[in-house]
């Protein structure tokens, strides 16, 4: 979320990669450019830091320059349940350390969001092309949405067919990190990388005024204090591709820091 989030990623990700021996890193870049979308330059900076794939969401087209970038960069995903004619893709298989094949999929929920294609059908069709532990070694699904019920339902829907289902969009890390019965790790929201002395990463006062007066305030800029990194760590089984361990990660000020045990 804005410069604070980008700075937090730059500050903490190198140590996380080294200390946790991370093989693959996915970042949701939805609000990286001033809180609204992402630019090609920011994408390149994230890749330099060691990010493997960038997912997005409902703000994906806010920076119009990014539209043509999708044709050149397959490490940048937009929600897969956009109409088929939309630029880019929301599902791709990448190579991680050791030659492992990782499917990453980005979908957007429909509850309280734009009326896109059915995310359940979109996920189901994509997973029908791959078999976890055979044609792919891991599968990560970023569900960008408002409703925890919809995200959790998608998690149960793909249980045993994906390594991780993780939510984004609400900017607050949830405390429900778990592994479902058939081996899929889940968390309703990974949480924001950004300044938590804010309202979902934006300057607080305009949001307070907006709620108390019900008057339009226009775009609210991101808060620019010291950022906190929030993430989800998952260890998968090399044979099955399912989750062996899942835990939240929090590094930075304001929130209680958390580290995978």
Structure token pair of residue 182 = 């058939």
Q: What is the CA radius of gyration of the chain?
A: 17
Structure token pair of residue 14 = 């190198």
CA distance 86 to 105: 16
Structure token pair of residue 80 = 């897969």
Residue 59 is among the residues annotated as catalytic for this protein = yes
CA distance 99 to 137: 9
- Residues with Cβ < 8 Å from 70, sequence gap 6 or more? 76, 78, 87, 88, 89
CA distance 41 to 258: 30
Chain centroid to Cα 193, Å, comes to 11
Q: Report the candidate in 35, 55, 34 with the shortest Cα–Cα distance to residue 43.
A: 55
Chain centroid to Cα 120, Å, comes to 18
* CA count, 13 A, side-chain hemisphere, 73: 21
Catalytic residues: 59
């Amino acid at each position: 979320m804005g410069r604070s989030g980008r700075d937090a990623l730059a500050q903490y990700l190198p140590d996380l990669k080294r200390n946790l021996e991370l093989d693959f890193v996915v970042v949701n870049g939805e609000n990286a450019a001033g809180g609204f979308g992402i630019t090609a330059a920011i994408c390149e900076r994230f890749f330099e830091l060691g990010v493997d794939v960038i997912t997005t969401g409902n703000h994906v087209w806010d920076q119009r320059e990014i539209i043509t970038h999708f044709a050149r960069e397959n490490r940048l995903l937009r929600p897969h349940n956009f109409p088929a004619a939309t630029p880019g893709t929301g599902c791709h298989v990448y190579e991680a350390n050791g030659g492992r094949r990782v499917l990453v999929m980005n979908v957007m929920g429909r509850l309280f969001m734009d009326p896109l294609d059915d995310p359940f059908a979109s996920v189901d069709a994509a997973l029908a092309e791959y078999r976890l532990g055979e044609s792919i070694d891991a599968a990560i699904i970023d569900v960008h949405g408002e409703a925890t019920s919809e995200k959790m339902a998608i998690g149960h829907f793909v249980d045993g067919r994906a390594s991780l289902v993780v939510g984004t969009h609400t900017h607050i890390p949830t405390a429900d990190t778990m592994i479902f019965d058939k081996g899929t790790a889940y968390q309703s929201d990974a949480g924001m990388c950004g300044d938590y002395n804010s309202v979902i990463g934006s300057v607080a006062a305009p949001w307070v005024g907006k709620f108390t007066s019900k008057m339009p305030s226009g775009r609210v800029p991101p808060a620019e204090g010291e950022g906190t990194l929030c993430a989800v760590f998952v260890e998968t089984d090399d044979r099955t591709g399912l989750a062996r361990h899942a835990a939240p990660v929090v590094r930075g000020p304001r929130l209680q820091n958390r580290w995978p045990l």
